[in-house]
Amino acid sequence: MEKTDFNIRLDNNILTISSAKERQEETKEDNYTRREFSYQSFQRSFELPKNVVDDEGINARYENGLLRLTIPKKEEAKQKAPRIIEIS
């Protein structure tokens, strides 16, 4: 697959990744004609938690046949490190 084959959409906290690819091949010889058709498609949807994901920071990168999505958390949603409380 190529980078242009993918479609990534975010709609109301539903992230959908889909792809559709169609291929046709025809070979003509003296006494026959051969036609091949291929159609590949997939779709996967994920529900992202509300008020946790930074919608504007989501990005996608495709290289060497691998699609990588980065979905950052909002700063206020990140878990804070444990803190030691002194006993008085």
CATH number for the domain running over 3-77: 2.60.40.790
**What is the reported pTM?**
0.68
Q: Residue 67: which residues within 8 A CB-CB, separation 6 or more? A: 6, 17, 60, 61
How do residues 6-39 score in pLDDT, each as one tens digit?
A: 999 999 889 999 998 888 999 998 889 999 999 8
The confidence band for 85, taking pLDDT boundaries of 50, 70 and 90, is confident
Question: Is residue 68 within 8 Å of 62, Cβ to Cβ?
Answer: yes
How much of the chain, in percent, has pLDDT values that exceed 90?
Answer: 40
